Amino acid sequence: MGRMLQDELDGLSKKIAGFLEPAEISDEKWRQFTANSVVALMAGGESSRYAAVLHGQKVNKNAHELPNGDTMIEMAIRMYRDAGIKKFVALVYHNAHSIEDRIGDGSGLGVEIIYSHDPEKPVGKGGAVHNALVNGSIPDDCNLLVVNPDDVILDFPEVVRFIVSAHLEGQSKGMLATVALAPGQAYPGTGMMVADNQVVDTQMYPIIPVPLHFGATVFSPEIYPRFSKLFPLTEKNDFEQVLFPILAKEKKLWSAGLTRGTWIAVNDLKSYKQLCQALPPKPGA
Protein backbone atom coordinates (compact mmCIF):
# COMPACT_ATOMS: atom_id res chain seq x y z
CA MET A 1 0.00 0.00 0.00
CA GLY A 2 1.04 3.59 -0.48
CA ARG A 3 2.51 3.36 -3.96
CA MET A 4 -0.50 4.92 -5.69
CA LEU A 5 -0.50 7.89 -3.34
CA GLN A 6 3.25 8.45 -3.55
CA ASP A 7 3.20 8.13 -7.35
CA GLU A 8 0.63 10.93 -7.49
CA LEU A 9 2.74 13.04 -5.14
CA ASP A 10 5.87 12.38 -7.18
CA GLY A 11 4.05 13.51 -10.31
CA LEU A 12 2.92 16.64 -8.50
CA SER A 13 6.48 17.39 -7.42
CA LYS A 14 7.53 17.83 -11.06
CA LYS A 15 4.89 20.54 -11.44
CA ILE A 16 5.74 22.33 -8.20
CA ALA A 17 9.54 22.49 -8.29
CA GLY A 18 12.43 21.83 -10.58
CA PHE A 19 15.91 22.37 -9.15
CA LEU A 20 19.08 22.85 -11.16
CA GLU A 21 22.55 22.61 -9.66
CA PRO A 22 24.18 26.04 -9.49
CA ALA A 23 27.28 26.61 -11.58
CA GLU A 24 30.47 26.34 -9.53
CA ILE A 25 32.07 29.72 -8.85
CA SER A 26 35.78 30.44 -8.98
CA ASP A 27 37.88 30.69 -5.84
CA GLU A 28 38.45 34.37 -6.61
CA LYS A 29 34.71 35.11 -6.74
CA TRP A 30 34.26 33.14 -3.54
CA ARG A 31 36.95 35.16 -1.74
CA GLN A 32 35.42 38.41 -2.96
CA PHE A 33 31.99 37.37 -1.67
CA THR A 34 33.14 36.13 1.74
CA ALA A 35 35.35 39.18 2.33
CA ASN A 36 32.27 41.41 2.10
CA SER A 37 29.71 39.23 3.91
CA VAL A 38 28.08 39.03 7.32
CA VAL A 39 26.13 36.12 8.77
CA ALA A 40 23.10 37.14 10.84
CA LEU A 41 22.19 34.44 13.36
CA MET A 42 18.47 34.45 14.12
CA ALA A 43 18.47 33.69 17.84
CA GLY A 44 15.76 35.83 19.40
CA GLY A 45 12.66 33.67 19.33
CA GLU A 46 10.80 32.36 22.37
CA SER A 47 10.58 28.81 20.93
CA SER A 48 7.57 27.79 23.02
CA ARG A 49 7.35 24.33 21.39
CA TYR A 50 10.91 23.61 22.58
CA ALA A 51 9.92 24.07 26.23
CA ALA A 52 9.48 20.30 26.65
CA VAL A 53 13.21 19.93 26.00
CA LEU A 54 14.37 22.74 28.27
CA HIS A 55 12.44 21.67 31.42
CA GLY A 56 12.27 25.23 32.71
CA GLN A 57 15.83 26.27 31.89
CA LYS A 58 16.12 29.97 31.09
CA VAL A 59 18.13 29.41 27.95
CA ASN A 60 17.59 30.21 24.30
CA LYS A 61 17.20 26.94 22.44
CA ASN A 62 20.06 27.80 20.10
CA ALA A 63 22.40 27.88 23.13
CA HIS A 64 20.93 24.77 24.78
CA GLU A 65 23.68 22.21 25.27
CA LEU A 66 23.13 19.05 23.27
CA PRO A 67 24.12 15.57 24.48
CA ASN A 68 27.49 15.77 22.70
CA GLY A 69 28.34 19.07 24.44
CA ASP A 70 27.66 21.16 21.35
CA THR A 71 24.94 23.75 20.64
CA MET A 72 23.01 24.51 17.49
CA ILE A 73 24.37 28.05 17.30
CA GLU A 74 27.97 26.84 17.52
CA MET A 75 27.29 24.23 14.83
CA ALA A 76 25.99 26.97 12.54
CA ILE A 77 28.91 29.30 13.24
CA ARG A 78 31.47 26.60 12.47
CA MET A 79 29.71 25.71 9.22
CA TYR A 80 29.98 29.28 7.92
CA ARG A 81 33.42 29.86 9.47
CA ASP A 82 34.83 26.77 7.78
CA ALA A 83 33.44 28.05 4.48
CA GLY A 84 35.44 31.27 4.96
CA ILE A 85 33.04 33.79 6.54
CA LYS A 86 34.29 35.23 9.83
CA LYS A 87 31.92 38.11 10.64
CA PHE A 88 28.68 37.39 12.52
CA VAL A 89 25.89 39.33 14.18
CA ALA A 90 23.57 37.56 16.61
CA LEU A 91 20.02 38.93 16.46
CA VAL A 92 18.77 38.28 20.00
CA TYR A 93 15.88 38.92 22.38
CA HIS A 94 14.47 36.03 24.48
CA ASN A 95 17.13 34.75 26.92
CA ALA A 96 19.80 36.68 25.07
CA HIS A 97 22.16 36.25 28.01
CA SER A 98 22.44 32.53 27.31
CA ILE A 99 23.63 33.20 23.76
CA GLU A 100 26.20 35.76 24.93
CA ASP A 101 27.38 33.54 27.79
CA ARG A 102 27.88 30.61 25.43
CA ILE A 103 29.67 32.18 22.45
CA GLY A 104 30.83 35.58 23.72
CA ASP A 105 32.66 37.67 21.14
CA GLY A 106 33.36 34.61 19.01
CA SER A 107 37.11 34.56 19.62
CA GLY A 108 36.91 31.03 21.00
CA LEU A 109 35.48 29.95 17.66
CA GLY A 110 37.89 31.99 15.57
CA VAL A 111 35.29 34.50 14.43
CA GLU A 112 33.97 37.97 15.28
CA ILE A 113 30.48 38.15 16.82
CA ILE A 114 28.57 41.29 17.73
CA TYR A 115 25.02 41.49 19.08
CA SER A 116 21.90 43.30 17.99
CA HIS A 117 19.14 43.25 20.60
CA ASP A 118 15.55 43.72 19.50
CA PRO A 119 13.91 46.91 20.82
CA GLU A 120 11.68 46.74 23.92
CA LYS A 121 9.54 44.04 22.34
CA PRO A 122 10.22 41.38 19.67
CA VAL A 123 10.01 42.69 16.11
CA GLY A 124 10.21 39.43 14.14
CA LYS A 125 12.82 38.42 11.60
CA GLY A 126 12.17 41.36 9.29
CA GLY A 127 12.30 43.84 12.14
CA ALA A 128 15.43 42.25 13.59
CA VAL A 129 17.29 42.76 10.32
CA HIS A 130 15.95 46.32 10.00
CA ASN A 131 17.02 47.06 13.58
CA ALA A 132 20.52 45.71 12.94
CA LEU A 133 20.81 47.88 9.84
CA VAL A 134 19.73 50.92 11.85
CA ASN A 135 22.20 50.29 14.69
CA GLY A 136 25.04 49.47 12.29
CA SER A 137 25.43 45.83 13.28
CA ILE A 138 24.83 44.97 9.63
CA PRO A 139 26.81 47.28 7.30
CA ASP A 140 24.62 48.56 4.49
CA ASP A 141 27.12 47.65 1.77
CA CYS A 142 27.70 43.98 2.59
CA ASN A 143 26.19 40.68 1.52
CA LEU A 144 23.95 39.24 4.20
CA LEU A 145 23.32 35.60 5.00
CA VAL A 146 20.43 35.25 7.44
CA VAL A 147 20.75 31.89 9.18
CA ASN A 148 18.37 29.93 11.41
CA PRO A 149 20.71 27.90 13.66
CA ASP A 150 17.84 25.59 14.65
CA ASP A 151 17.49 24.52 11.01
CA VAL A 152 20.34 22.03 11.19
CA ILE A 153 22.00 20.83 7.98
CA LEU A 154 24.20 17.72 8.21
CA ASP A 155 26.23 15.63 5.74
CA PHE A 156 26.63 18.46 3.22
CA PRO A 157 30.07 20.04 3.94
CA GLU A 158 30.00 22.37 0.93
CA VAL A 159 26.45 23.63 1.55
CA VAL A 160 27.42 27.27 2.18
CA ARG A 161 29.34 27.57 -1.08
CA PHE A 162 26.49 25.74 -2.82
CA ILE A 163 23.91 28.29 -1.61
CA VAL A 164 26.15 31.26 -2.40
CA SER A 165 26.90 29.90 -5.88
CA ALA A 166 23.15 29.80 -6.49
CA HIS A 167 22.80 33.35 -5.17
CA LEU A 168 25.50 34.74 -7.46
CA GLU A 169 23.88 32.96 -10.38
CA GLY A 170 20.53 34.53 -9.47
CA GLN A 171 22.14 37.90 -8.89
CA SER A 172 23.45 37.85 -12.46
CA LYS A 173 19.80 37.49 -13.55
CA GLY A 174 18.64 40.48 -11.50
CA MET A 175 17.59 38.63 -8.32
CA LEU A 176 17.85 40.36 -4.95
CA ALA A 177 17.63 37.36 -2.64
CA THR A 178 18.12 33.59 -2.61
CA VAL A 179 16.33 31.11 -0.37
CA ALA A 180 17.66 27.70 0.60
CA LEU A 181 14.89 25.14 0.10
CA ALA A 182 14.38 21.61 1.36
CA PRO A 183 12.65 19.90 -1.58
CA GLY A 184 10.08 17.92 0.43
CA GLN A 185 9.09 16.84 3.91
CA ALA A 186 7.45 13.76 5.39
CA TYR A 187 3.83 14.40 6.36
CA PRO A 188 3.54 13.82 10.14
CA GLY A 189 0.87 11.11 10.04
CA THR A 190 -0.94 8.69 7.78
CA GLY A 191 -1.74 10.07 4.35
CA MET A 192 -4.78 8.77 2.50
CA MET A 193 -5.95 8.79 -1.10
CA VAL A 194 -9.73 9.10 -1.39
CA ALA A 195 -12.17 8.69 -4.28
CA ASP A 196 -15.82 9.57 -3.53
CA ASN A 197 -15.29 8.97 0.18
CA GLN A 198 -13.69 5.56 -0.36
CA VAL A 199 -10.12 5.27 0.84
CA VAL A 200 -8.21 3.64 -2.02
CA ASP A 201 -4.67 3.90 -0.71
CA THR A 202 -2.84 4.77 2.51
CA GLN A 203 0.75 5.56 3.40
CA MET A 204 2.49 6.40 6.63
CA TYR A 205 4.51 9.62 6.44
CA PRO A 206 4.22 10.30 2.70
CA ILE A 207 6.68 12.82 1.28
CA ILE A 208 4.82 16.03 0.51
CA PRO A 209 6.61 17.60 -2.48
CA VAL A 210 6.32 21.26 -1.48
CA PRO A 211 9.74 22.92 -1.11
CA LEU A 212 10.17 24.56 2.29
CA HIS A 213 12.36 27.51 3.15
CA PHE A 214 15.11 26.02 5.24
CA GLY A 215 18.18 27.23 7.02
CA ALA A 216 19.33 30.32 5.19
CA THR A 217 18.53 33.34 3.03
CA VAL A 218 21.10 35.37 1.13
CA PHE A 219 20.37 39.06 0.54
CA SER A 220 22.17 41.45 -1.79
CA PRO A 221 22.80 44.94 -0.34
CA GLU A 222 20.43 46.49 -2.86
CA ILE A 223 17.49 45.05 -0.94
CA TYR A 224 18.15 46.86 2.35
CA PRO A 225 15.87 49.86 1.69
CA ARG A 226 12.98 47.38 1.57
CA PHE A 227 13.53 46.52 5.23
CA SER A 228 13.10 50.10 6.43
CA LYS A 229 10.00 50.44 4.27
CA LEU A 230 8.31 47.12 5.07
CA PHE A 231 9.33 46.39 8.67
CA PRO A 232 8.58 49.19 11.15
CA LEU A 233 10.18 48.61 14.54
CA THR A 234 6.82 49.01 16.23
CA GLU A 235 5.45 45.74 14.80
CA LYS A 236 6.41 42.06 14.64
CA ASN A 237 6.82 40.82 11.07
CA ASP A 238 8.81 38.08 9.38
CA PHE A 239 10.37 38.63 5.97
CA GLU A 240 9.13 35.22 4.78
CA GLN A 241 5.54 36.41 5.16
CA VAL A 242 5.94 39.99 3.96
CA LEU A 243 8.96 40.31 1.67
CA PHE A 244 9.10 36.95 -0.12
CA PRO A 245 5.68 37.27 -1.82
CA ILE A 246 6.66 40.71 -3.12
CA LEU A 247 9.99 39.49 -4.49
CA ALA A 248 8.35 36.42 -6.03
CA LYS A 249 5.79 38.63 -7.79
CA GLU A 250 8.58 40.89 -9.05
CA LYS A 251 10.58 37.82 -10.19
CA LYS A 252 13.51 38.80 -7.99
CA LEU A 253 13.65 35.76 -5.67
CA TRP A 254 16.03 32.88 -6.49
CA SER A 255 16.44 29.49 -4.83
CA ALA A 256 19.00 26.84 -3.97
CA GLY A 257 17.46 23.38 -3.65
CA LEU A 258 19.11 21.30 -0.91
CA THR A 259 18.94 18.03 -2.80
CA ARG A 260 21.80 16.59 -0.73
CA GLY A 261 22.48 16.13 2.95
CA THR A 262 20.19 15.78 5.96
CA TRP A 263 18.09 18.64 7.29
CA ILE A 264 16.28 18.79 10.61
CA ALA A 265 14.07 21.68 11.73
CA VAL A 266 14.59 21.46 15.49
CA ASN A 267 11.50 23.01 17.04
CA ASP A 268 10.03 20.45 19.46
CA LEU A 269 10.86 17.35 21.49
CA LYS A 270 10.42 14.97 18.55
CA SER A 271 12.79 16.86 16.23
CA TYR A 272 15.24 17.34 19.12
CA LYS A 273 15.42 13.57 19.57
CA GLN A 274 15.92 13.20 15.82
CA LEU A 275 18.85 15.63 15.99
CA CYS A 276 20.36 13.81 18.97
CA GLN A 277 20.36 10.56 17.00
CA ALA A 278 22.12 12.21 14.04
CA LEU A 279 24.64 14.34 15.96
CA PRO A 280 28.30 13.98 15.01
CA PRO A 281 30.91 14.30 17.77
CA LYS A 282 31.65 17.89 18.74
CA PRO A 283 34.91 19.02 17.07
CA GLY A 284 37.73 18.97 19.57
CA ALA A 285 35.76 16.94 22.10
What is the set of domains in the chain, with CATH numbers? 26-182+211-278 (3.90.550.10)
Among 107, 98, 104, residue whose Cα is nearest residue 46: 98
pTM exceeds 0.85 = yes
User: What would the pLDDT profile of 261-278 be if each residue is shown by its tens digit?
Assistant: 988 999 999 999 999 999
| Range list of β-strands (E), 96-222 | 112-117, 143-147, 151-154, 177-182, 185-186, 190-195, 198-204, 207-208, 212-219
Residue 18: the pLDDT is 79
Residue 77 identity (one-letter amino acid)? I
pLDDT band at 1 (very low <50, low <70, confident <90, very high): low
**Is residue 281 very low, low, confident or very high in pLDDT (cuts 50, 70, 90)?**
confident
Residue 283: the pLDDT is 83
Kindly tell me if the per-residue pLDDT of 2 is higher than 60.
Answer: no
User: How far is it, in rounded angstroms, from Cα 38 to Cα 40?
Assistant: 6
pLDDT in tens, 230-266: 999 999 999 999 999 999 999 999 999 998 898 899 9
For the cut 90, the answer to whether the pLDDT of residue 215 exceeds it is no
CA distance 144 to 208: 30
pLDDT confidence band for 285 (50 / 70 / 90)? low
- Confidence check: pLDDT of 85 > 80: yes
How far is residue 50's CA from residue 72's CA, in Å, rounded to a whole number?
Answer: 13
pLDDT of residue 242: 95
Q: Cα dihedral angle (259, 262, 265, 266), rounded to 10 degrees?
A: -170
Reported as type and span, the H/E element at residue 87 is strand 87-92
